[in-house]
Amino acid sequence: MQQHGLNLSADIGLVAGVDEVGRGPLAGPVVAAAVILDPSRPIAGLTDSKKLTERRREALYEEIQAKALAWAIGRAEVGEIDRINILQASLLAMSRAVEGLEPAPQHALVDGNKIPTLPCSAEAIIKGDLTEPCISAASILAKVTRDREMVEMDSRYPGYGLASHKGYPSKQHLLALEELGVSQIHRRSFAPVKKLLEQSE
């Protein structure tokens, strides 16, 4: 029988939720988070980060960091994404997040259908960010961390609109790419970017 969340039997011990954000964008890193919640300090309103307003995500981000037993961020940079592909980079970012947890978990609940290489037992849960509070917490930390970074990148790489679309392939972003060319933070292995590079050769 498959059991989830902090209801796992006592011998499993600490359970971490793991999620990543940023598989779809044309620019920037993929960012993952791992969170071990404290059952004695519940956090209300945890759900998939995409279903929350930016303001609510920001508030929960602070609360999760204050109340969790442990949390950590992992990432894979643009160069790694281009070298090993986005799926492998996402798994690598999640591995790095879990490895950053102190104390270390005995078990991990991973959003999605694939399990990264981890130093503990793990299970993958499709749409886990909707059903497992620890995964929801991880999705919120990962999204806020990445969104803030893309806002910062917008001032370093102006004109692409990174602060608004966060690197995703919006119409505005694609037009800006054609006008401004490919920047250092664009993923060269992604089709729209790759096509532009081939055209400019």
Q: Does domain 5-157 have CATH number 1.10.3210.10?
A: no
Q: Where are the domains of the chain?
A: 5-157
Peptide bond into 103 cis (omega under 30): yes
Which pLDDT belongs to residue 200?
Answer: 79
One-letter amino acid of 142:
A
Whole-Å CA distances, 34 to 94, 97, 111: 7, 5, 11
Residues paired with residue 17 on neighbouring β-strands, in sequence order: 35, 109
Per-residue pLDDT of the chain in tens (201 residues, 90 and over written 9): 233 444 444 567 899 999 999 999 999 999 999 999 999 999 999 999 999 999 999 999 999 999 999 999 999 999 999 999 999 999 999 999 999 999 999 999 999 999 999 999 999 999 999 999 999 999 999 999 999 999 999 999 999 999 999 999 999 999 999 999 999 999 999 999 999 999 877
Which pLDDT belongs to residue 177?
Answer: 96
- H/E stretch holding 42 reads none
Which pLDDT belongs to residue 4?
Answer: 42
Which pLDDT belongs to residue 11?
Answer: 61
DSSP 72: E
Measured at the CA of 173, the angle between CA 201 and CA 20, to 5 degrees, comes to 105
Which pLDDT belongs to residue 12?
Answer: 74
